[in-house]
């Protein structure tokens, strides 16, 4: 699920005794909130200030890379992939340097674990599933080390629990993956209850877990809580729309998807994929509502949308389904529309 990137990024709040100044702490919080609001360029500027203040520390490079990855996930693009790898590799290089000098700072281990997890997540999404798995696995070793150094850093449980649940759900076909969803859920809950800054990301993560478990009413309530805190955040609007769709609350689903579509159409980048995904849900929901003209309109919009070859492949099933429903709408309407 593409929006799970938030379960990695936003748990990296400040916990325990920060190694930075109060001003830098505030800067990190600001950048994370800006990312929640999908204000990615503003977040990058905030984290660039962090890099400028601590040029030999991995933290600023990590946050910039994490923001770029979140931006790519939100827009369904790889436009900033080269810069993402440059920043993440620089972050890992500086972290390794600190560890080679004998540092036992749990923060360094925390950011190392998060960086490898992020790189693994991106590799897996890009098609290198096995390579991504091993990168993420390496990250887990660092996160476990965090708890060995300081067992009170409960926020580290977020990354560990997220990995256990989602790898069990989506990588169960690998022979060495055991079902640890129950343990993963408990770790996520622990980070929410006792972590210093894990509350909002924990709720976001837990909402997607409940969605995955088909507890859509519960997931919906959690997503709404997040949206109340971060109005107009696409990360919560997607969840709300998908829950309404699964609950077959078609009118509400249409309202939220149309709001989301407007954001996508007016966004910085629109390669057609998110647009196609939303329009698919809209023609299906409108068909269930017997609004056949509206359903037809969304079908035709998908079929008429010009996209590049890569997105064309990803939208192949969307177009096939749109053509099927276009014909069904014409049958229901009892008249022929010109293509």
Model pLDDT, residue 19? 61
DSSP class of 249: -
Cα distances (Å, whole numbers) of residue 31 to 108, 197, 284: 20, 14, 37
Which of 315, 313, 294, 317 minimizes the C-alpha distance to 326?
294
Model pLDDT, residue 5? 46
The token pair that represents 293 in the structure block? 């003209």
Model pLDDT, residue 236? 94
The token pair that represents 12 in the structure block? 């990296």
DSSP class of 337: P
Cβ atoms of 172 and 153 within 8 Å: the answer is no
Q: How many Cβ atoms from other residues are within 10 Å of residue 195's Cβ?
A: 22
Cβ atoms of 240 and 230 within 8 Å: the answer is no
Q: Give the residues of the chain that fall short of pLDDT 50.
A: 1-3, 5, 10-16, 339
Sorted by where each begins, the domain ranges of the chain are 2-219, 250-333
Q: Is 230 exposed, middle or buried (0-12, 13-18, 19+ CB in 10 A)?
A: middle
Q: What is the CA radius of gyration of the chain?
A: 21
CATH of domain 2-219: 1.25.40
């Amino acid at each position: 699920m593409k929006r799970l990137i938030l379960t990695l990024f936003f748990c990296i709040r400040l916990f325990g005794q920060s190694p930075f100044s109060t001003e830098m702490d505030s800067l990190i919080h600001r950048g994370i909130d800006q990312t929640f609001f999908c204000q990615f360029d503003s977040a990058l500027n905030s984290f660039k200030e962090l890099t400028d203040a601590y040029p030999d520390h991995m933290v600023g490079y990590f946050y910039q890379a994490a923001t770029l990855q979140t931006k790519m996930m939100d827009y369904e693009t790889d436009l900033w992939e080269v810069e993402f790898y440059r920043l993440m590799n620089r972050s890992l290089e500086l972290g390794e340097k600190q560890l080679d000098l004998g540092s036992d700072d749990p923060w360094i281990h925390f950011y190392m674990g998060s960086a490898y997890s992020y790189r693994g997540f991106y590799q897996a999404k890009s098609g290198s599933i096995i390579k991504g798995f091993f990168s993420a696995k390496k990250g887990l070793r660092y996160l476990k080390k965090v708890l060995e150094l300081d067992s009170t850093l409960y926020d580290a449980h977020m990354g560990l629990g997220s990995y256990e649940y989602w790898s069990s759900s989506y990588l169960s076909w690998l022979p060495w993956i055991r079902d640890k969803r129950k343990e993963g859920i408990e770790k996520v809950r622990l980070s929410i209850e006792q972590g210093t800054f894990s509350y909002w990301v924990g709720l976001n993560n837990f909402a997607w877990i409940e969605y995955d478990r088909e507890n859509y009413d519960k997931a919906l309530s959690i997503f709404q809580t997040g949206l109340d805190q971060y109005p107009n955040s696409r990360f919560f609007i997607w969840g709300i729309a998908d829950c309404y769709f699964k609950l077959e609350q078609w009118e509400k689903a249409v309202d939220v998807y149309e709001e989301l579509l407007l954001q996508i159409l007016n966004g910085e980048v629109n390669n057609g994929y998110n647009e196609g995904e939303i329009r698919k849900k809209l023609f299906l929901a409108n068909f269930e509502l017997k609004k056949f003209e509206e359903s037809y309109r969304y079908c035709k919009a998908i079929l008429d949308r010009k996209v590049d070859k890569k997105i064309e492949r990803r939208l192949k099933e969307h177009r096939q389904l749109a053509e099927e429903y276009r014909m069904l709408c014409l049958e229901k309407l009892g008249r022929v529309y010109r293509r």
